[in-house]
Amino acid sequence: MNAFISRLLSILIFACLGSVLLWHYFTHRDPALSHPNGVNQKPARSNGVAASGPLSVQQKPAKRNQVIDRLIASYSTSWKKHEKNFQFYRSLLGNKCNAISAAVVTQRNSPTGTNITFDADKKKILEVTPALYNLFPKETPFIKAPLDTCAVVGNGGILTNSSCGKQIDSASYVIRCNLPPLKNRHEKDAGSKSNIVTANPSILMQKYSSLNERRRSFVEDVRLYGNALILLPAFSYRQNTAVSLRALYALEDFGYNGPQAVFFNPAYLSNLKEFWHTQGIRAMRLSTGIMMVSLALELCNNVHLYGFWPFSVHPYTYQQITNHYYDNQPVNHRVHAMPAEFEALLNLHNKGVIHLHIGECTN
């Protein structure tokens, strides 16, 4: 009997301890770590409800955070390009991924009769029919590579009040993510020039009724990006294809000299994922931001990054910042490894490979 009671007691004690520990874990996680920002490549299957989350910025005063302090302490402020390291990473990426000929689906790399294997949905294969083939550009759009200076603009809240717009627009080639708002109050911080803009099908679904209804507002909004390439992950998830094709039809049917829709090559994205896996990033899916940095590393001789900072606290002012410079939509952490990506980019910055701008732009 005594033995039974003591066993019962020890079970109770362990159960109590366990729940205290669990409670502690869930209530004491650092808010700065649980609200990373950054550019967001949600799979099309996540619906609008899941993506809308808590919209208010946490009002608690931001506290100093060990992770942020460690990262900022290692961030080299006197950046200088290290040509050897730059060439090393460019050739590593070039050998594995070859963005110039393979990042975008073209008639040359995807002839009629070949199969396209979806990168986020390996069981899905699509044969290139003559009709599909005719939607692809003949050649790579990156025929002019290497370009001189590229700015890759992440959408992080760190851009708010950064005054980086002029510096971003001074780059010869500007790459943006997920159809970000640019005009009016954003121009000073984010600039307006755009040569590539990615478009996540989830935004087409939410904002433009999947382009199943009127398409004029989509076409007019996209005019904001001038003659930029609109880059769509049409062959990542199977739900992405039809809506991406409709985006291309809409831009072509309205028949003006504006943005051109092209599709990410899923073979390129698969190789990119493997590349970053060897660099320690084990996410279900890479963020659009790191995809664009990788592209820029192959296309451009000088790569500058703005708007990349995946935490909800500003590293210098300790003010709370929003997830994006234009809204506070949360990032999907089941899918992306934002802090790990950021550390990889910080490492490349410290090696003189890319120039990661954090905080205000002074010139």
Ligand X SMILES: *[C@@H]1O[C@H](CO)[C@@H](O)[C@H](O)[C@H]1NC(C)=O
CA torsion 238→243→247→250, rounded to 10°? 140
Of 6 and 114, the one with the shorter C-beta distance to ligand X is 114
C-beta neighbour count of 73 within 10 angstroms: 7
- Strands of the chain (E only): list them: 115-117, 125-127, 147-153, 173-176, 196-198, 229-232, 260-263, 300-306, 355-356
Among 106, 160, 198, 323, binds ligand X (CB under 6 A): 160
For the bound state, the minimum distance from the C-beta of residue 128 to ligand X, rounded and expressed in Å, comes to 9
For the bound state, the minimum distance from the C-beta of residue 238 to ligand X, rounded and expressed in Å, comes to 14
Considering only residues 17 to 76 of the shown chain, the ones binding ligand X according to CB under 6 A are none
Site for ligand X contains 319 (CB under 6 A): yes
* 146 prior amide bond cis, ω within 30: yes
Among 69, 83, 127, 327, binds ligand X (CB under 6 A): 127
Distance CA 231, CA 176 (A): 10
Of 114 and 212, the one with the shorter C-beta distance to ligand X is 114
For the bound state, the minimum distance from the C-beta of residue 38 to ligand X, rounded and expressed in Å, comes to 16
Q: What are the backbone dihedrals phi and psi of residue 258, each rounded to the nearest 5 degrees, phi first?
A: -130, -150
Burial of 72 (0-12, 13-18, 19+ CB in 10 A): middle
Single-letter amino acid code for the residue at 185: R
For the bound state, the minimum distance from the C-beta of residue 288 to ligand X, rounded and expressed in Å, comes to 23
Among 46, 101, 161, 172, binds ligand X (CB under 6 A): 161
Of 159 and 231, the one with the shorter C-beta distance to ligand X is 159
Among 292, 321, 337, 345, binds ligand X (CB under 6 A): 321
The DSSP symbol for 279 reads T
> Pattern of binders to ligand X over 277-316, x per CB under 6 A?
----------------------------------------
* Helix (H/G/I), strand (E/B), else coil: 16: helix
Q: Which stretch binds ligand X (CB under 6 A): 1-9, 70-78, 111-119, 185-193?
A: 111-119
For the bound state, the minimum distance from the C-beta of residue 360 to ligand X, rounded and expressed in Å, comes to 10
For the bound state, the minimum distance from the C-beta of residue 111 to ligand X, rounded and expressed in Å, comes to 10
Of 35 and 42, the one with the shorter C-beta distance to ligand X is 35
Closest CA to 291 of 272, 270, 307, 277: 272
Of 115 and 362, the one with the shorter C-beta distance to ligand X is 115
Burial of 344 (0-12, 13-18, 19+ CB in 10 A): middle
Distance CA 329, CA 245 (A): 26
Given 35, 324, 336, 357, which residue is catalytic?
336
Among 114, 129, 163, 209, binds ligand X (CB under 6 A): 114
Of 270 and 319, the one with the shorter C-beta distance to ligand X is 319
355 is catalytic: no
Q: Which residues contact 71 (CB under 8 A, 6 or more apart)?
A: 315, 342, 343, 346
Q: Which residues contact 233 (CB under 8 A, 6 or more apart)?
A: 41, 198, 200, 201, 240, 244, 263, 264, 266, 269
- Residues at the site binding ligand X, with contacts judged by CB under 6 A: 113-115, 125, 127, 160-161, 319, 321
Catalytic amino acids? 336
